[in-house]
Amino acid sequence: MKLIEGQLRVRTDKRVAIVSTRWNHFIVDRLVEGAKDAYARHGGNADELTHVLAPGAFELPMVIEQLLSSGKYDAVCALGAVIRGSTPHFDYVSAEATKGIATVSLKHKKPVSFGLLTTDTIEQAIERAGTKAGNKGFEAMTVVIEMLDLYAEIGA
């Protein structure tokens, strides 16, 4: 049986953007640093990344849509943090951002990683931004790197 899989190696012929939210920046800034670190550790030059700031998680899909529609980017690493509060706002924003990010990726047939934290507490978000639970920004960028390599391997 033939096995096709992506490797964690940056394809220097591919353009990658990071789209992060301005909201909850004290968490998201750590995710961005993790993503840049992952890109550099896997053979890329972090200076070649484009970083776009979206106001919040709800706007992530719209910004990603514009980037992929431009034809200038081959993949996007989406980063943000939605932290549950005392109203249903969390549920609406999390659900719509999740659906929107998936829809844009499928529409353009290009990798978009999901580095949007959806946590119940600030403590959980902090844990996922580089403490106990690792850095989800780092992980989201490794998904982009592997997916770009996988697409190249399958001829997409």
Catalytic residue positions, numbered:
89
| Residue 87 in marked binding region | yes
| Residue 4 in marked binding region | no
Integer CA distances (angstroms), 71 to 36, 45, 59, 108, 132, in order: 22, 21, 20, 10, 38
| Residue 81 in marked binding region | yes
78 phi, psi to nearest 5 deg: -95, 125
| Residue 82 in marked binding region | yes
Q: What is the 3-state secondary structure (H, E, C) of 17-28?
A: EEEEECCCHHHH
| Residue 114 in marked binding region | yes
Residue 106 and residue 101: Cα distance in Å, rounded?
9
| Residue 83 in marked binding region | yes
| Residue 128 in marked binding region | yes
Structure-block tokens of residue 121: 């507490």
Q: Residues at the annotated binding site?
A: 23, 57-59, 81-83, 86-87, 114, 128
Q: Residues at the annotated binding site for 5-amino-6-(D-ribitylamino)uracil?
A: 23, 57-59, 81-83, 114
